[in-house]
Chains A and B, each alone.
Chain A
Amino acid sequence: MSKVLLMGQSNVGKSVLFNRLAGARATVSNYPGTTVDFDKGRMRIEGQDVEIVDIPGSFSLEPKDRAEEVAVKMLEETKGATVVCVIDSSKVERGLYLALEIIEKRHSVIIALNMADVAKDANINVDAERLEEILGVPVVPMVATRGEGLKELVSRIREAVPVEIEGIIKNVGGKSGTSSHS
């Protein structure tokens, strides 16, 4: 594994997670679009020194502004990287859109279901295990601001593998090729 990329939609806590993982001091605020360029840091995974990149929030892989262009370009240029896809647990559907786009491009993905506390307060229960079954990639619930789930995320980063989008479509009972992007 050469690099770890933190990707996700805006305001889901990528930079908080980045600071936790890299011990860095990226600017964090409760506004979407705080990170407009990327930040780089280093972290250790199972004794190995790995570069980690905090990428600006992007709604999809079809860029609509400068920050999203940076995000898409970073992903394209870093072949072989492991992508930590950060999702706001209270807005899973929206977050999964980007995650599935990244999975579809055959990147190794692990999903960080962040802000589990916010979802819980809103009475939203996300079945991480079931989601993992459906997607075939690791799904880790966490609260990055409190460091909850951080250890599990790091210990499972190596389990991230590219998966076939057709398999996921089959798992949810959809029809391949007709349901999305038609």
Chain B
Amino acid sequence: MEKKLSEMDYEEEGTIKGIEKGFREKVAGMGIREGKEVKMMTKQPIKGPVVVEVGRSNTSLGMGLAAKILVEVKR
């Protein structure tokens, strides 16, 4: 099932399927690109930032940016 990174639940894992054009370069430096596996580590309430694990690092993303990233979630 595909969903936005911002919609992933706590501890949910998946593979990045797509990143909205113009935002790829913004997140590439953090190791986020198509084909990479991600895991939701922390979700803050009220549109707060999310922390995801990607390539052995934890990285935080604003909700706006997380909504530009499409993920195929496991199971």
Q: Which residues of A approach B to under 8 Å, CB–CB?
A: 9, 58-60, 62, 64, 90-91, 93-94, 97-98, 122, 181
Residues of A within 8 A of B44 (CB): none
What is the 8 Å Cβ interface bit string for chain B, positions 19-49, against chain A (1 contact, 0 not)?
A: 0000001101111000000000000000000
Which residues in B have some Cβ–Cβ distance to A below 8 Å?
25-26, 28-31, 55-57
- On whether the beta carbons of B25 and A90 are closer than 8 Å, the reply is no
**Cα-based distance from A122 to B31 in the complex (angstroms):** 18
Would you call B56 and A60 a contact (CB within 8 A)?
Answer: no
Whether A62 and B30, one on each chain, are in contact in the complex, defined by CB atoms closer than 8 angstroms, is no
Which B residues touch A62, using CB under 8 A? Answer: 25-26, 29
Which of the residues B25, B28, B56 comes within 8 Å of A122, measured between beta carbons? B56
- 26 A-B pairs, CB-CB below 8 angstroms? A9-B29, A58-B29, A59-B29, A59-B30, A60-B25, A60-B28, A60-B29, A62-B25, A62-B26, A64-B26, A90-B56, A91-B31, A91-B55, A91-B56, A91-B57, A93-B31, A93-B55, A94-B29, A94-B30, A94-B31, A94-B55, A94-B57, A97-B29, A98-B29, A122-B56, A181-B25
Given A64-B26, A91-B55, 10 more A-B residue pairs with CB atoms under 8 Å apart are A58-B29, A62-B29, A90-B56, A91-B31, A91-B56, A93-B31, A94-B31, A94-B57, A98-B29, A122-B56
A59 vs B57: C-alpha distance when bound (angstroms): 12
Which B residues are CB-close (under 8 A) to A58? 29
* Min CB–CB distance A96 → chain B (angstroms): 10
- Closest CB pairs A-B (n = 3): A60-B29, A59-B29, A94-B31
Contacts of B56 in A (CB 8 A): 90-91, 122
Residues of chain A with a CB closer than 8 A to B28's CB: 60, 97
A94 to B57, CA, bound (A): 9
A59–B30 Cα distance when bound, in Å, is 6
- Check A97 against B26 for contact (C-beta < 8 Å): no
> In whole Å, how far is B25's beta carbon from the nearest beta carbon of chain A?
6
Give bound CA distance, A59 to B56, whole Å.
15
Closest beta carbon of chain A to B29's beta carbon, Å: 3
- Most chain A CB neighbours (cut-off 10 Å) among B26, B55, B56: B56
CB-CB under 8 A from A181, the residues of chain B are 25
